[in-house]
Amino acid sequence: MLNPRGIIERYRDFLPVDDKTPIVTLHEGNTPLILSEDLTQRLGLKVYLKYEGLNPTGSFKDRGMTMAITKAKEKGCTAVMCASTGNTSASAAAYTARSGSMRCFVIIPEGNIALGKLAQAMIHNAKVIAIKGNFDEALNIVREVTDNYPVELVNSINPFRIEGQKTGAFEVCDELGEAPEFHAIPVGNAGNITAYWKGYNEYKGAGKATQLPKMLGFQAAGAAPIVLGKPVENPETIATAIRIGNPASWKLAEAARDESGGLIHAVTDEQILEAYKLLAASTGVFVEPASAASVAGILKLKHEGYFDGHKDARIVCTVTGHGLKDPNIAIKNVIEPVVMEADLKAIVQEIGL
């Protein structure tokens, strides 16, 4: 079996752990890399989806959180804290519960986190505080608290988070037998693009891949500080997971972009929703809106001719979180079910058989 006990066991040689490290795992990672025939046809190059929604708490955060909570436990910490647009808090809450020895404090922007994520943080028994403010303000408070009290910060500025998340790139290379030519990814606080780029570089350094992909990052147009070149004070987007105006790993994301010869562009909420619905209806993969930003981005680039001359290239899109995280957005964007009597004949007629 490729992934007996999660990413730390699988990629131990590339991670800062030893025999005595008390691994806290929910058997994360080993997520499917799905070839989308529909997107391949639309783009004219092979499009793979790295379906991170199939991690234990439904997002890529689990890769980083198994490392962050494991290292916190190794250090003897009894409490961790994060700011979150939802997924980090869900993951931190689950992994601290799993640790059996730590409490979890979470600060979220009130009214701007998806229902499923809030449910997760609460059911795993985190102490959740919703502030009348945005993610950037929440993160500032978390930095202050963790600087001054015996509480470990588990946002992606914690280097162990990046260490864990880089294993996404390892899995892609292991599955393809090589790094892809392009890697598309949504950008919020900018930890994940940083992590993938680190992962690709380390794998190439270890002789496990011979090339590096161009990193293609996508922000939501209403929350696109890196694209604009300045912080956005009041970020707004339907993709609440990436509703961030001042990303902590801003410079590292720019480095990933520039070193790889890639780009970071913006996509509108309309484009995100279009890609969101397309992925669900034409590939059968249900993701949350922020995840669809990567697919919206490559569809936009295709339209602009960016991929001309790359016919046989492979592009991997990290689709970061499961669609069930945010059921309200899904319901708002579909036609409501037809309500009928429990009458066989009428139903057959309605279906048009």
Site residues for ligand F0G per CB under 6 A: 59, 61, 84-88, 156, 186-192, 241-242, 288, 290-291, 320-321
Q: Cα(163)–Cα(172) distance, rounded to whole angstroms?
A: 16
Pick the closer one to ligand F0G by CB: 84 or 201: 84
Give min distance, CB of 312 to ligand F0G, in A. Answer: 29
Give min distance, CB of 193 to ligand F0G, in A. Answer: 6
Give min distance, CB of 28 to ligand F0G, in A. Answer: 15
Do 54 and 186 touch, CB atoms closer than 8 A?
no
Give min distance, CB of 188 to ligand F0G, in A. Answer: 3
Give min distance, CB of 272 to ligand F0G, in A. Answer: 11
For every residue of 318-344, DSSP letters joined together read: EE-BBGGG-HHHHHHTSPPPPP--S-H
Pick the closer one to ligand F0G by CB: 31 or 84: 84
Give min distance, CB of 197 to ligand F0G, in A. Answer: 12
Pick the closer one to ligand F0G by CB: 263 or 313: 263
Give min distance, CB of 329 to ligand F0G, in A. Answer: 12
Pick the closer one to ligand F0G by CB: 117 or 314: 117
Pick the closer one to ligand F0G by CB: 187 or 238: 187
Q: Cα(148)–Cα(143) distance, rounded to whole angstroms?
A: 9
The torsion angles phi and psi of 124, rounded to 5 degrees, stand at -85, 5
- Return the beta strands (E) in the chain as ranges: 33-35, 46-51, 79-83, 103-109, 127-131, 152-153, 182-186, 214-220, 263-267, 314-319
Q: Cα(92)–Cα(126) distance, rounded to whole angstroms?
A: 8
Pick the closer one to ligand F0G by CB: 173 or 190: 190
Which residues neighbour 197 within 8 Å (Cβ) at sequence distance 6 or greater? 169, 215, 252, 255, 256, 259, 260
Pick the closer one to ligand F0G by CB: 91 or 201: 91
Structure token digits, residue 313: 């290239």
Q: Cα(136)–Cα(232) distance, rounded to whole angstroms?
A: 10
Q: Cα(279)–Cα(291) distance, rounded to whole angstroms?
A: 10
Pick the closer one to ligand F0G by CB: 88 or 271: 88
Q: Which helix (H) or strand (E) holds 136?
A: helix 135-148
Pick the closer one to ligand F0G by CB: 34 or 313: 34
Q: Which helix (H) or strand (E) holds 274?
A: helix 269-278
Give min distance, CB of 247 to ligand F0G, in A. Answer: 7
For every residue of 93-122, DSSP letters joined together read: HHHHHHHSS-EEEEEEETT-S-HHHHHHHH
Give min distance, CB of 8 to ligand F0G, in A. Answer: 19
Structure token digits, residue 116: 């499923």
Could you tell me which residues are beta bridge partners of residue 185?
217
